Chain A
Amino acid sequence: KAGVTQTPRYLIKTRGQQVTLSCSPISGHRSVSWYQQTPGQGLQFLFEYFSETQRNKGNFPGRFSGRQFSNSRSEMNVSTLELGDSALYLCASSLATQETQYFGPGTRLLVL
Protein backbone atom coordinates (compact mmCIF):
# COMPACT_ATOMS: atom_id res chain seq x y z
CA LYS A 1 0.00 0.00 0.00
CA ALA A 2 1.27 3.45 -0.81
CA GLY A 3 1.90 5.69 2.17
CA VAL A 4 0.67 9.19 2.82
CA THR A 5 1.82 11.59 0.13
CA GLN A 6 2.13 15.34 0.41
CA THR A 7 2.69 17.94 -2.25
CA PRO A 8 4.62 20.03 -2.71
CA ARG A 9 7.56 18.91 -0.61
CA TYR A 10 9.15 22.36 -0.50
CA LEU A 11 7.68 25.80 -0.91
CA ILE A 12 8.97 29.35 -0.66
CA LYS A 13 6.49 32.20 -0.32
CA THR A 14 6.59 35.83 0.72
CA ARG A 15 4.68 37.53 3.48
CA GLY A 16 1.09 38.27 2.64
CA GLN A 17 0.75 35.52 0.07
CA GLN A 18 -1.42 32.48 0.52
CA VAL A 19 -0.52 28.83 0.13
CA THR A 20 -2.35 25.55 -0.40
CA LEU A 21 -0.86 22.23 0.64
CA SER A 22 -2.18 18.87 -0.45
CA CYS A 23 -2.33 15.50 1.25
CA SER A 24 -3.35 12.11 -0.12
CA PRO A 25 -4.04 9.59 2.63
CA ILE A 26 -3.35 5.89 2.62
CA SER A 27 -5.96 4.07 0.56
CA GLY A 28 -8.97 3.29 2.74
CA HIS A 29 -8.14 5.85 5.39
CA ARG A 30 -10.91 8.35 5.96
CA SER A 31 -9.39 10.56 8.62
CA VAL A 32 -6.76 13.18 7.81
CA SER A 33 -5.02 15.37 10.37
CA TRP A 34 -2.66 18.27 9.87
CA TYR A 35 0.19 19.36 12.11
CA GLN A 36 2.63 22.23 12.19
CA GLN A 37 6.15 21.52 13.38
CA THR A 38 8.58 24.28 14.32
CA PRO A 39 11.76 24.24 16.41
CA GLY A 40 10.21 26.61 18.90
CA GLN A 41 6.74 25.13 19.36
CA GLY A 42 7.31 21.51 18.46
CA LEU A 43 4.47 19.50 16.93
CA GLN A 44 1.15 21.27 17.08
CA PHE A 45 -2.19 19.92 15.96
CA LEU A 46 -3.99 22.04 13.37
CA PHE A 47 -7.17 20.16 12.52
CA GLU A 48 -8.65 16.83 11.64
CA TYR A 49 -11.11 15.88 8.92
CA PHE A 50 -13.23 12.79 8.65
CA SER A 51 -15.69 12.14 5.85
CA GLU A 52 -15.32 15.70 4.57
CA THR A 53 -16.18 17.19 7.98
CA GLN A 54 -13.83 18.97 10.34
CA ARG A 55 -13.90 16.97 13.55
CA ASN A 56 -11.34 18.76 15.66
CA LYS A 57 -9.42 21.99 15.52
CA GLY A 58 -6.30 23.12 17.30
CA ASN A 59 -5.51 26.57 18.57
CA PHE A 60 -4.59 28.34 15.36
CA PRO A 61 -5.93 31.57 13.85
CA GLY A 62 -8.57 31.57 11.16
CA ARG A 63 -5.90 32.12 8.52
CA PHE A 64 -5.39 28.38 8.70
CA SER A 65 -8.15 26.41 7.06
CA GLY A 66 -8.63 23.07 5.44
CA ARG A 67 -11.01 20.82 3.65
CA GLN A 68 -11.42 17.21 2.70
CA PHE A 69 -12.77 15.82 -0.53
CA SER A 70 -14.99 12.83 -1.11
CA ASN A 71 -11.95 10.69 -1.97
CA SER A 72 -10.47 11.59 1.45
CA ARG A 73 -7.74 13.75 -0.05
CA SER A 74 -7.25 16.89 1.97
CA GLU A 75 -5.92 20.38 1.44
CA MET A 76 -4.92 23.00 3.93
CA ASN A 77 -4.71 26.67 3.14
CA VAL A 78 -2.86 29.44 4.90
CA SER A 79 -3.78 32.97 3.92
CA THR A 80 -1.88 36.19 4.54
CA LEU A 81 1.34 34.37 5.32
CA GLU A 82 3.52 35.57 8.16
CA LEU A 83 7.20 34.86 8.80
CA GLY A 84 6.20 32.70 11.75
CA ASP A 85 4.30 30.36 9.46
CA SER A 86 7.60 28.94 8.25
CA ALA A 87 7.46 25.34 9.35
CA LEU A 88 7.20 21.72 8.38
CA TYR A 89 3.55 20.88 7.77
CA LEU A 90 2.76 17.24 8.34
CA CYS A 91 -0.29 15.35 7.28
CA ALA A 92 -1.36 12.10 8.92
CA SER A 93 -4.05 9.65 7.96
CA SER A 94 -5.88 6.97 9.88
CA LEU A 95 -8.69 4.55 9.25
CA ALA A 96 -10.95 6.57 11.51
CA THR A 97 -10.76 9.16 14.23
CA GLN A 98 -8.77 7.92 17.22
CA GLU A 99 -7.02 5.22 15.25
CA THR A 100 -3.26 5.13 14.79
CA GLN A 101 -2.04 7.93 12.57
CA TYR A 102 0.45 7.41 9.77
CA PHE A 103 2.38 10.45 8.64
CA GLY A 104 3.47 11.77 5.30
CA PRO A 105 6.91 13.27 4.55
CA GLY A 106 5.69 16.81 5.12
CA THR A 107 5.84 20.08 3.24
CA ARG A 108 8.58 22.49 4.23
CA LEU A 109 7.26 26.03 3.92
CA LEU A 110 9.58 28.99 4.07
CA VAL A 111 8.03 32.45 4.28
CA LEU A 112 10.34 35.32 3.36
Chain B
Amino acid sequence: AQKVTQAQTEISVVEKEDVTLDCVYETRDTTYYLFWYKQPPSGELVFLIRRNSFDEQNEISGRYSWNFQKSTSSFNFTITASQVVDSAVYFCALIHPGGSYIPTFGRGTSLIVHP
Protein backbone atom coordinates (compact mmCIF):
# COMPACT_ATOMS: atom_id res chain seq x y z
CA ALA B 1 0.00 0.00 0.00
CA GLN B 2 1.12 3.53 -0.68
CA LYS B 3 1.05 6.35 1.80
CA VAL B 4 2.07 10.00 1.81
CA THR B 5 2.46 11.85 5.06
CA GLN B 6 2.60 15.60 5.38
CA ALA B 7 2.93 15.95 9.11
CA GLN B 8 2.77 19.75 9.11
CA THR B 9 -0.88 20.71 8.99
CA GLU B 10 -0.24 24.43 9.02
CA ILE B 11 2.85 26.61 8.90
CA SER B 12 2.86 30.32 9.56
CA VAL B 13 5.83 32.50 8.58
CA VAL B 14 6.62 36.13 8.03
CA GLU B 15 7.48 37.34 4.57
CA LYS B 16 11.11 36.75 3.49
CA GLU B 17 11.56 33.81 5.82
CA ASP B 18 12.61 30.47 4.36
CA VAL B 19 10.21 27.59 4.92
CA THR B 20 10.43 23.84 4.34
CA LEU B 21 7.42 21.64 3.78
CA ASP B 22 7.96 18.00 4.63
CA CYS B 23 6.74 15.00 2.67
CA VAL B 24 7.40 11.41 3.71
CA TYR B 25 6.16 8.55 1.57
CA GLU B 26 5.78 4.80 1.79
CA THR B 27 5.75 2.42 -1.13
CA ARG B 28 6.95 -1.09 -1.86
CA ASP B 29 7.61 -0.24 -5.47
CA THR B 30 10.99 0.75 -6.79
CA THR B 31 9.53 2.80 -9.61
CA TYR B 32 7.32 5.70 -8.72
CA TYR B 33 6.74 9.38 -9.32
CA LEU B 34 6.51 12.08 -6.70
CA PHE B 35 4.71 15.36 -7.20
CA TRP B 36 4.14 18.66 -5.49
CA TYR B 37 1.06 20.74 -6.16
CA LYS B 38 0.03 24.17 -4.89
CA GLN B 39 -3.60 24.96 -4.16
CA PRO B 40 -4.29 28.68 -3.73
CA PRO B 41 -7.62 29.87 -2.29
CA SER B 42 -9.16 29.77 -5.76
CA GLY B 43 -9.12 25.97 -5.52
CA GLU B 44 -7.19 24.93 -8.60
CA LEU B 45 -4.23 22.65 -7.97
CA VAL B 46 -1.16 24.02 -9.70
CA PHE B 47 1.51 21.54 -10.75
CA LEU B 48 4.95 22.41 -9.36
CA ILE B 49 7.24 19.45 -9.94
CA ARG B 50 7.42 15.76 -10.81
CA ARG B 51 10.33 13.59 -9.74
CA ASN B 52 11.13 10.08 -10.95
CA SER B 53 12.25 7.62 -8.28
CA PHE B 54 15.47 6.97 -10.17
CA ASP B 55 16.45 10.61 -10.19
CA GLU B 56 17.63 11.78 -6.78
CA GLN B 57 19.05 15.03 -7.97
CA ASN B 58 17.78 18.01 -6.10
CA GLU B 59 16.06 20.67 -8.12
CA ILE B 60 15.87 24.42 -7.89
CA SER B 61 13.40 26.63 -9.67
CA GLY B 62 13.67 30.25 -8.68
CA ARG B 63 12.78 30.49 -5.00
CA TYR B 64 11.60 26.88 -4.93
CA SER B 65 13.82 23.90 -4.27
CA TRP B 66 13.19 20.22 -3.68
CA ASN B 67 15.24 17.71 -1.75
CA PHE B 68 14.58 14.08 -2.69
CA GLN B 69 16.16 11.46 -0.42
CA LYS B 70 15.28 7.83 -1.03
CA SER B 71 17.19 6.76 2.07
CA THR B 72 14.66 8.55 4.26
CA SER B 73 11.72 8.29 1.80
CA SER B 74 11.35 12.04 1.84
CA PHE B 75 10.68 14.64 -0.81
CA ASN B 76 10.83 18.00 0.95
CA PHE B 77 10.00 21.35 -0.55
CA THR B 78 11.70 24.61 0.43
CA ILE B 79 10.57 28.11 -0.40
CA THR B 80 13.31 30.70 -0.02
CA ALA B 81 12.43 34.28 0.89
CA SER B 82 8.73 33.51 1.12
CA GLN B 83 6.17 35.97 -0.21
CA VAL B 84 2.52 36.58 0.60
CA VAL B 85 1.57 35.06 -2.78
CA ASP B 86 3.05 31.76 -1.60
CA SER B 87 0.17 31.41 0.85
CA ALA B 88 -1.64 28.26 -0.21
CA VAL B 89 -2.12 24.62 0.61
CA TYR B 90 0.67 22.43 -0.74
CA PHE B 91 0.15 18.78 -1.58
CA CYS B 92 2.66 16.03 -2.05
CA ALA B 93 1.56 13.03 -4.13
CA LEU B 94 2.86 9.60 -5.09
CA ILE B 95 2.04 7.59 -8.19
CA HIS B 96 3.15 4.12 -9.08
CA PRO B 97 3.29 3.74 -12.85
CA GLY B 98 2.75 0.40 -14.41
CA GLY B 99 0.02 -0.64 -12.05
CA SER B 100 -3.38 0.81 -11.39
CA TYR B 101 -2.84 4.48 -11.76
CA ILE B 102 -4.44 5.73 -8.57
CA PRO B 103 -2.43 8.59 -7.08
CA THR B 104 -2.01 8.95 -3.36
CA PHE B 105 -2.09 12.47 -2.00
CA GLY B 106 -0.92 13.71 1.36
CA ARG B 107 -3.35 15.71 3.51
CA GLY B 108 -1.65 18.93 2.53
CA THR B 109 0.22 21.66 4.41
CA SER B 110 -1.39 25.05 4.70
CA LEU B 111 1.25 27.76 4.40
CA ILE B 112 0.39 31.24 5.60
CA VAL B 113 2.85 33.99 4.80
CA HIS B 114 2.28 37.18 6.75
CA PRO B 115 3.41 40.53 5.37
Contacts and interface: CB of A to CB of B under 8 A. Distances in A.
Contacts of A101: 47, 103
A76 interface: no
B interface, size bucket: 20 to 34
Contacts of A108: 43
B25 to A, nearest CB: 15
Contacts, number: 45
A98 B95 contact: yes
Contacts of B107: 42
B44 A45 contact: no
B44 A103 contact: yes
A37 to B, nearest CB: 8
B105 interface: yes
Contact of B43 (A45, A55, A106): A106
Interface of B: 33, 35, 37, 42-47, 50, 91, 95, 97-98, 100-103, 105-108
